[in-house]
Every structure is written in structure tokens, then in C-alpha cells.
Amino acid sequence: MKSICVFCGSGKGSSPEYINAAQELGRLLVKENLDLVYGGARVGLMNEIANTVLEGGGKVTGVMPQYLVDKEVAHTGITKLHIVKDMHQRKAMLSELSDGFIAMPGGLGTLEEIFEALTWAQLGIHKKPCGFLNVNGFYDKLLDFLDHAVDQEFIKSDNRKLVMRDPSPENLLELMRNYIPPGVDKAKWILHIQ
Ligand code: AMP
């Protein structure tokens, strides 16, 4: 892996643990010589992780649609800021530029982005690892829900295995490095048969 896409909140969350985790992950990316790819904003956890990587001498690439740049939320100090037409182009480009995806705590935007990356992994559109940095147990209920969806036979247990998780950035990165993408049998996925 050469670059990691991090999806995270445009807010900072209720606890300093979230900011600390963004900084910790940023320092780890620099230490491991991994470039940061992210939404390109200068707000919330996104700003924390981008600044930490820059301060450590790492490379930060942002991708932002023009209308968010117009709202002046773009981080103008990053290594490279790609300005794209819309959110769809943004997600496609974030995906193209990265070798793996991490969701830090965040809101609807973060959830939508990581679930799209997981859906694309499920379909075999990419073979990149996807993980939740489960800081402070933030994602416990969501991960329990995914187990419920497996029990109810809406998520296949093989696809549930696409979802990696760990509260520690080091451990999560290790899991992602050891990720073996499943062989995708599209007919089985679409028909949902064994
Ligand atoms: P949220 O989790 O709802 O705070 O949204 C954060 C995610 O959605 C980030 O990974 C961004 O790609 C995108 N996003 C949402 N709000 C903004 C914003 N104000 N500026 C830039 N990106 C945003």
C-alpha cells in the first residue's frame, strides 16, 4: 500500500479522544510512509489528520467538489487539491488514488463513503481493504447491526468479512496489509445463493 484514503467527520466529535485518534493515525501514516488521501477539507477530524500528516512531512491529497470549495472549506495548504465537478466524481477519484480505505468516526458523509467502498469490494470493483477505526467503541452498534443483517440473511457472511475493525491505528493497518480479497462470484452475489 502506498496511499490510504481516510473518511472522517467534518466535525470533531464530543470527546478529545477523536481528535487524538486522528492525530495518531496521521503520525502513523507518516511513519509508515503512506500518503493520505481525503476529502480535502479544513474542518473537523479531516483538518486534524491532514495537518498532522503535513507537520510530519507526509504527502496529503484532497479531492473536493467545486461547490464545497466555493463554501471556503477547502484546505489550501495540502500537497495537492483536486477540484472536481460533483460528489460522484470525488468518490471515484478518492477511490482511484488510494490502496485502502479507513473510516474514522464521522457522520452521514463518512458512513456513505465507507459503505460505498465496501459495496464496491463486495462487487469486486476493487480489491482494496476497508476498515473502521473503532475509536472509543464509536462503531460498536453499527458493527452489531451488520451481524444482525448477517443473521437475517441480508449480508452474506463472506461479505461481512470485508469489514475490518480495530480501535488501534497500528492494528488496523496491520489487518489491512494482510487483507486477502475474496474471489468474487458475481452470479452468486446477485442471486444470493450458496
Ligand atoms: P460527515 O461524516 O457527515 O461529517 O462527512 C464527512 C465526510 O463527507 C468526509 O469524508 C467528506 O468527504 C465529506 N464531507 C462532508 N461534509 C464536508 C465538508 N463540509 N467539507 C468537505 N467534505 C465534507
Q: Write the pLDDT tens digit of every residue in 87-124.
A: 999 999 999 999 999 999 999 999 999 999 999 999 99
Residue linked to cell 468474487: 184
Round to whole Å and give the CA distance between 126 and 53: 26
Question: Which three three-digit cell numbers place residue 148?
Answer: 444482525
Question: Which three three-digit cell numbers place residue 122?
Answer: 463486495
Closest ligand 1 atom to 10 CA: 4
Q: Which of 121, 146, 133, 144 is nearest to 174 (CA)?
A: 133
In a 13 Å sphere around the CA of 151, the CA atoms on its Cβ side amount to 6
**CA of 164 relative to ligand 1 center, distance in Å:** 22
Q: What average pLDDT does the chain have?
A: 94
- Burial (CB count within 10 angstroms: exposed 0-12, middle 13-18, buried 19+), residue 176: buried
Cβ–ligand 1 distance for 43 under 6 Å, the answer yes
Task: Give the model's pLDDT for residue 190.
Answer: 55
Q: Do residues 168 and 154 make contact, with C-beta atoms less than 8 angstroms apart?
A: no
Percent of the chain with pLDDT over 70: 94
Asked whether residue 187 carries a pLDDT value surpassing 70, the answer given is no
**CA of 180 relative to ligand 1 center, distance in Å:** 29
